Structures are given as C-alpha cells and as structure tokens.
C-alpha cells in the first residue's frame, strides 16, 4: 500500500473539535432540560439534581459549562423571552423616511407578535407567573434587561407625546401587562373576559384588532396638547 497517497490527518484539530461538539450538545441538553422541567413541574421543580437527571448528564457539567444552576436557568429564560429575542431587531426596522407611521406599524407588530408568542409558549407563561409570584436575583436581572429594550423603543416615540394629554408609556404598560393577563386568565380558567373567549380564534382576533386601534388612537390623540399652567415656565423647545 502506498501510504503517501493517504491524506494527512490533523490529529490536533480532531481532538479539539470533538470536545467542542460534545460540549455544545451537552449545553443544549441542559438548556432543554430546564424547559422540560418548567413545562411539566413548574419552576419549583428546578434544581441541580433534577436538571442533570432530565438531561441525563453528570451534574458537575452544569458548573463546568454554566458556573452555576442560576446561570443555566438564566440562559434558558433569555433564549425563550420574547422581548429579549425579538426586540433587539426593532431599531433597525424603523423607516426614517416615514418615521411616525413606521413606529406605529412596529408598535402594533411587536404587540401582536407578543400576544401570539405568549399564547403558544407554555414555558414562558410559567416563567411570567414565576416573576409575579416571587422576587429572585435571576428574574430581576432579566426584567431589567427587558426594560432596557423597551425603553429604547419607547424613546423613539417620546417626542410625539411631549406635552401631550396621552402617556404612551402608560398605554404601553397597560397593553403589555394586559396581554399577559388575558392569556394567563384564558389558559388557567378557560373563562371569558369582557364577553370574549380568548381560547377561540375569534376571541384572539378581537384582541389583535384592538391592539392596532389603541396604538393608532394614542398617536392621533397626542396631537391634543396640554395647555400650560400660567405658573409654568415656557417650553424653550417650542
């Protein structure tokens, strides 16, 4: 046999690639295990031993790859969170040539997609219930990052509501929280809300339609300015 015709094998490269591939697969199994436990047992079922058992790996790998179980859970939450996975693309989607209408369309699209996403994601529903039922350092940090994304978007519309009778931040807070509530209420109690059955396509369509109506109303109503009090100093920006 002519050994010179056999292509050389880079043993060092193979030795490096195999551990990297195995690590990525193990990380994926651990992250997926977190989701599986949240889905079947809720957040109270999360723990080092339970996650390792679900992933079928040694629990030492949680510390080796994620430092601790909190970092592993945080990785899963960030990956699944709608605002953290989607909103980082928002700013690049604003059409500066038609900024106002572009912002309106993006607001509506974001809220519609949040409603659809939250409706279909059982794990995320449990995470939100976890957030509002107890305070943890992990969830507090996720909430802060989520707020940073929201502030970046709301900052784009602040100028349209300056000295206006409408608070877009207040409207946004009610819409975001309202989406969480109507979904959780419908999923847990299977009852109607204001006569709407959110468990039906027709009921969900009514919510989607109303999201656009409210956002468009807010921007239209923002044209009505608050009359300054005589004791207020003049606005130098006007």
Among 20-24, 50-54, 56-60, 90-94, which stretch is predicted with the lowest mean pLDDT?
Answer: 90-94
For 32-36, the CB contacts below 8 A with 24+ separation are 34/72, 34/73, 34/76, 35/76, 35/80, 35/123
- Three-class DSSP category at 179: helix
Q: What is the pLDDT of residue 236?
A: 43
Question: Whole-angstrom Cα distance, residue 170 to residue 145?
Answer: 19
CB 39 within 8 A of CB 130: no
CB 46 within 8 A of CB 33: no
Listed in sequence order, the residues at least 6 apart from 150 whose beta carbon sits closer than 8 Å to its beta carbon are 83, 87, 172, 176
> Is the model more confident about 6 or about 140?
140
**Can you tell me the mean pLDDT for 12-33?**
72
Tens digits of residue pLDDT in 65-75: 999 998 898 88
Q: Does pLDDT of 16 surpass 50? A: no
Listed in sequence order, the residues at least 6 apart from 111 whose beta carbon sits closer than 8 Å to its beta carbon are 175, 176, 179, 211, 215
Tokens of 106: 């993006």
- Domain definitions of the chain by residue range: 12-75, 81-221
Q: What is the pLDDT of residue 153?
A: 80
Q: Does pLDDT of 155 surpass 70? A: yes
Q: What is the pLDDT of residue 13?
A: 41
Identify the sign of the CA torsion 129, 51, 122, 111. positive
Strand partners, 196: 193
Q: What is the pLDDT of residue 141?
A: 78
φ and ψ at residue 118, rounded to 5 degrees: -65, -35
* CATH no. of 12-75: 1.10.10
Give, as one character, the DSSP assignment of residue 193.
B
- Average pLDDT of the chain is 82
CB 219 within 8 A of CB 160: yes
Tens digits of residue pLDDT in 78-121: 888 777 766 556 666 666 667 888 889 888 988 998 899 999 98
Tens digits of residue pLDDT in 194-218: 999 999 999 999 999 999 999 999 9
The answer to pTM > 0.75 is: no
> Is the model more confident about 84 or about 76?
76
């Amino acid at each position: 046999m002519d050994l010179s015709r056999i292509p050389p094998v880079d043993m060092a490269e193979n030795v490096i690639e195999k551990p990297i591939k195995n690590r990525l697969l193990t990380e994926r199994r651990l992250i997926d295990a977190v989701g599986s436990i949240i889905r079947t047992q809720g957040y109270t079922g999360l723990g080092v031993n339970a996650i390792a058992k679900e992933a079928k790996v040694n629990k030492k790998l949680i510390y080796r790859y994620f430092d601790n179980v909190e970092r592993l859970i945080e990785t899963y939450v960030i990956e699944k969170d709608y605002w953290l996975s989607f909103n980082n693309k928002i700013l690049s989607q604003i059409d500066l040539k038609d900024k106002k209408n572009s912002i309106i369309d993006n607001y509506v699209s974001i809220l519609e997609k949040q409603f659809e996403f939250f409706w279909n994601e059982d794990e995320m529903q449990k995470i939100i219930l976890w957030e509002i039922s107890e305070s943890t350092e992990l969830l507090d940090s996720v909430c802060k990052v989520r707020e940073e994304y929201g502030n970046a978007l709301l900052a784009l519309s602040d100028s349209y509501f300056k000295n206006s009778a409408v608070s877009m931040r207040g409207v946004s807070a009610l819409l975001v929280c309202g989406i969480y509530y109507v979904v959780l209420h419908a999923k847990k109690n299977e009852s109607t809300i204001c006569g709407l059955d959110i468990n039906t396509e027709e009921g969900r369509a009514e919510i989607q339609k109303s999201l656009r109506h409210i956002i468009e109303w807010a921007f239209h109503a923002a044209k009505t300015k608050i009359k300054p009090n005589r004791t207020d100093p003049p606005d130098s920006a006007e």
